[in-house]
Amino acid sequence: MARSRMTRRHGWATVALLCAVVSSAAACTAATGKPAATEAKAKATASAPSCAGGAVRWTSVHRERRLTEVSPVVNVRESDGGVTFHPGLVRNIVAQVSTSDDRVSAHQVLAALTKRLKRWDVDQLAAPGKESADRRRNPVKVDFLGHAGRFVEAEAVQAVEASFTVTCPGGDIYGSVTTWFGSSGASLACGVNPHTKEPWVQEAYRLTCGPLRL
């Protein structure tokens, strides 16, 4: 038994020596077999039929406005007139498309989602990697002449999260997508119920004005 274990150790040492001494990658491939298997897998993937025309079936689609920015509370007097608000970042939504097979492209998924959402153009949806925090945002100026109180400005985007299945040769491909589009704004007065069921508005109120009394 001891001799058998020594023989195995000697055999592995010989393989290691071959890879160290012989500079040819083919020699190491023949000794280990791993690079050859990787190459075969890559060839199989490259020869697999394209899935560009596969039908996309949506298993779930969730769409809602999400709060992205809110300003600090500003104390306004009746004589102040125009007041400028500077919304700060609350959350950043990053668009992404994930699939179980790269034969399905992100553009194919977003194009199908555009039809599902009844949007006009795929360019309206944020492409993978695009962040809501990077969109152009400007200070918000509001005319409060004759109105006094504590006020807040909030902004939101339409966020979409969905999962899907694509019919492809050789089996279905599965994936998920997160994207966003558009922009919404709201002016809130602290101490005044905004009377809305929109979660993003209620969140903005709680973050700045305190508990919301319905």
Report which secondary-structure segment, H or E, holds 26: helix 25-32
Mean pLDDT over each residue of the chain, to the nearest integer: 81
User: What letter does residue 127 receive in the DSSP assignment?
Assistant: P
Residue 29: what pLDDT?
36
pTM for the model: 0.72
Residue 212: what pLDDT?
76
**pLDDT, tens digit (0-9, with 9 covering 90-100), for 147-185:** 899 999 999 999 999 999 999 988 999 999 999 999 999
Residue 81: what pLDDT?
86
Cβ atoms of 17 and 32 within 8 Å: the answer is no
Low-confidence ranges of the chain (pLDDT < 70): 1-49, 214
The Cα-based distances of 100 to 91, 163, 165, 168 in angstroms read: 28, 12, 10, 12
Cβ atoms of 139 and 155 within 8 Å: the answer is no
Whole-number percent of the chain with pLDDT over 70 = 77
Report which secondary-structure segment, H or E, holds 65: strand 56-70
